[in-house]
Amino acid sequence: MRTTDQNKSLSESFAKEVFDNHNIQFLQETLADDFVEHEVAPGMTPDKQGAITWFTKMFTAFPDSRTEIQQMIASGDRVVIHSTFSGTDTGGFMPGAPATGKSFEMEGIDIIRVNDEGKIAEHWGIQDQMAMMGQLGLLPPPPEAHEH
């Protein structure tokens, strides 16, 4: 049986290795083979391979991206991570559009479930995407604007 301190420690290592160091190898080792993603980005499969593909895309779009953990709450097999994710769109975030060169900083709240083997088995999360899109100047105009 894992302790909540062990699960918090795993979350900190994940933040440092994956979000800061862009270490895909660590991601592969840390996600369970039957990992389930509940925060599914457009075109992404909700599994381990989908998560690896998504992180790889993010690191290409934002080569300087990093995260800062604000607080962690752990109970049972869950860890809640409240963090601030930041980066600069130098690689091209929007498909088919050039890189904006702009920086962003957004808060998010993530929940992970850690299995008995110490692997991340499930992830839920909500990021302040409106703030990020706004800072990158990528918020689509409201539908009315298309009609006039």
Binding site for another protein (CB under 8 A): 4, 42-43, 71, 73-76, 78, 80, 82, 95-96, 107-109, 111, 124-131, 133, 140, 142-144
Burial annotation 13-44 (CB, 10 A radius, 16+ → b, else e): ebbebbbeebbeeebeebbbeebbbebeeeee
Nearer to another protein, 95 or 101 (CB): 95
Taking the complex as a whole, the smallest distance from the CB of residue 94 to another protein amounts, in Å, to 8
Q: Among residues 84 and 90, whose Cβ is nearest to another protein?
A: 84
User: Considering the complex, what minimum distance in angstroms separates the CB of residue 50 from another protein?
Assistant: 12
Best CA proximity match to 71, nearest among 12, 7, 132: 12
Q: 8 vs 17, which CB is nearer to another protein?
A: 8
Q: How far is the CB of 34 from another protein (least distance, A)?
A: 19
Q: Tell me how far, at minimum, the Cβ of 29 lies from another protein, in Å.
A: 25
Between 28 and 73, whose beta carbon lies closer to another protein? 73
CB of 73 to another protein, least distance (A): 5
C-beta closer to another protein: residue 27 or 74: 74
